[in-house]
Structure 1
Amino acid sequence: MANSPSSKKRARQIERRTAVNKARKSRIRTFIRKVEEAIAGGDQAVAKEALRTAQPEIMRGVTKGVLHANTASRKVSRLSSRVKALA
């Protein structure tokens, strides 16, 4: 348990940051799931639109430090190749 005032403050900051990061990750997963559902539906137009809205959200995760850049790029790449395969 944190004892010094500075360590107590750090614990509070980490708690807030964790909540924010958790919400961001959840939001990213929701966007990815929408793309995957559109792919499963088989409609390329809907899937393409879902990917177009998901991509900036995934990349925002990188700038906010929630995802690693390579992880985000890999996810976008794999989703886009699956959307292309629907044609």
Structure 2
Amino acid sequence: MANSPQAKKRARQNERRFAVNKARRSRIRTYLRAVEEAIESGDKDAAAAALKAAQPELMRGVTKGVYHKNTAARKVSRLSSRVKALG
């Protein structure tokens, strides 16, 4: 358990940061799920629109430190190739 004032403050900061990052990750997953569902339904226009909405969210997660740059790029690449294959 944290004993020093500095360690107590760090514990508080970590809790806040964890909550914010958890919310960001959840929001990104929701966007990705929308793309997945559009792909499953076979609607190329809806899938393309969902991907276009999800891409900036993923990249925002990179700038905020939730995801690594290559992870986000890989996810976008794989989703875009699946959307492209629908047509």
TM-score band (shorter)?
over 0.9
Q: State how far apart, in whole Å, the 2-side matches of 1:77 and 1:28 are.
A: 16
Give CA-to-partner distance per residue, 1:36-74, whole Å, 9 cap, x none.
Answer: 000000000000000000000000000000000000000
Q: TM-score, normalised by structure 2?
A: 0.99
Aligned to 2:74: 74
Identity, in percent, stands at 75
Aligned residues: 87
Q: State how far apart, in whole Å, the 2-side matches of 1:71 and 1:6 are.
A: 33
Question: How far apart are residue 23 of structure 1 and its match?
Answer: 0.4
Aligned to 1:30: 30
Q: TM-score, normalised by structure 1?
A: 0.99
Query: SS in structure 2 opposite 1:80?
Result: helix
Unaligned runs of 5+ in 1: none
Moved over 6 A (4+): none
Q: State how far apart, in whole Å, the 1-side matches of 2:77 and 2:52 are.
A: 12
Q: State how far apart, in whole Å, the 2-side matches of 1:29 and 1:45 are.
A: 20
Q: State how far apart, in whole Å, the 1-side matches of 2:6 and 2:55 are.
A: 39
